[in-house]
């Protein structure tokens, strides 16, 4: 059972555009939703995270929008840059599980110059 | 060190052999996690340590996989009788504590060990 579904699988955006990646989850016990960025040959790195008591969180060019009733959350990258080209993973965890993360399948983002 | 260190970075082994993968977490991080990432997929949870004990090993796929953390710092993931299906990148991560949400900090992942079973 895939608990976190991510789309699209790949995304191509022009420099300066907005990149949007979506995730949906099934387990209503999840209470922490991070996004990770991964470059080839490296481990994932935490980008931004949100808890379900807020609907939006913004850090620089990165924004998470969270819809608790729909069990969906999304990552928006404003003013996308070629350096943002990477694979992005959404994830979810619940406090009582010791923060074991369930990851989505990933989105390969390419930002063309 | 400044980050999570994993050794070796690459390991090629023959089917049926035994391998050990090492993880050096960030100093002072009490929580340590192992994940496995297959090509084109997100990381999949294997095991979580809080201190020296395995708090959750429910992600280990079968009894050929075992992990230890005897002194609450370095951890070793051990795979017996390797199979071609074990080929993947094995990621280790550490954090200050198990409550990511409460403290709003995430894991720090290492760069992984790429295991290839031929």
Q: By the CB < 8 Å criterion, does A45 face chain B?
A: yes
pLDDT of residue B1: 54
Q: Which residues does chain A have with pLDDT short of 70?
A: 1-2, 96-98
State CA A15 to chain mean position distance: 19
B58-92 tens-digit pLDDT:
999 999 999 999 998 999 999 999 999 999 999 99
Tell me if A47 sits within 8 A of A110, measured CB to CB: no
pLDDT of residue B97: 73
Tell me if A105 sits within 8 A of A6, measured CB to CB: yes
- The phi, psi pair for B84, rounded to 5°, reads -60, -30
Is the pLDDT at B98 greater than 70, yes or no?
no
Neighboring chain A residues of B102 at a CB cutoff of 8 Å: 95
Residue B95: which pLDDT band, with cuts at 50, 70 and 90?
confident
The full length of chain B comes to 118
Q: Is the dihedral of CA B110, B85, B67, B79 positive or negative?
A: negative
**Among A5, A93, A14, A23, which residue's Cα sits nearest to residue A65?**
A23
pLDDT of residue B32: 93
Q: Which residues of A12-25 are buried (b: 16+ CB within 10 A; e: fewer)?
A: ebeeeeebbbbbbb
pLDDT of residue A1: 53
Q: Smallest CA–CA separation between B15 and chain A, in Å?
A: 24
Tell me if B114 sits within 8 A of B8, measured CB to CB: no
Neighboring chain A residues of B4 at a CB cutoff of 8 Å: 43
Q: Do B100 and A32 touch (CB under 8 A)?
A: yes
Neighboring chain B residues of A35 at a CB cutoff of 8 Å: none
Task: Please classify residue A41 by burial: count the beta carbons closer than 10 Å to its beta carbon, then call 0-12 exposed, 13-18 middle and 19+ buried.
Answer: exposed
Is the pLDDT at B102 greater than 80, yes or no?
no
Give CA angle at B75 (B72, B77), nearest 5°. 145
B1-51 tens-digit pLDDT:
579 999 999 999 999 999 999 999 999 888 999 999 999 999 999 999 988
């Amino acid at each position: 059972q895939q608990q976190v579904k991510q789309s699209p699988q790949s995304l191509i955006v022009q420099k300066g555009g907005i990149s949007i990646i979506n995730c949906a989850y099934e387990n209503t016990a999840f209470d922490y939703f991070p996004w990770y960025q991964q470059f080839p040959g490296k481990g994932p790195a935490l980008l931004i995270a949100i808890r379900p008591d807020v609907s939006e969180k913004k850090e620089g060019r990165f924004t998470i929008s969270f819809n608790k009733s729909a069990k969906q959350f999304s990552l928006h990258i404003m003013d996308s840059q070629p350096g943002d080209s990477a694979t992005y993973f959404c994830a979810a965890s619940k406090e009582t599980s010791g923060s074991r993360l369930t990851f989505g399948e990933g989105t390969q983002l390419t930002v063309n110059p | 060190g400044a980050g999570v260190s994993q050794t070796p970075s690459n390991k090629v082994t023959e089917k049926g052999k035994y391998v050990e993968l090492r993880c050096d977490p960030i100093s002072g991080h009490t929580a340590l996690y192992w994940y496995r990432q297959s090509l084109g997929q997100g990381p999949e949870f294997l095991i979580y340590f809080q201190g020296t004990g395995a708090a959750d090993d429910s992600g280990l796929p079968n009894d050929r996989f075992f992990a230890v953390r005897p002194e609450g710092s370095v951890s070793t993931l051990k795979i017996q009788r390797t199979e071609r299906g074990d080929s993947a990148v094995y990621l280790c991560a550490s954090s200050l504590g198990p409550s990511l949400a409460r403290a709003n900090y995430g894991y720090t992942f290492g760069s992984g060990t790429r295991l290839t079973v031929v």
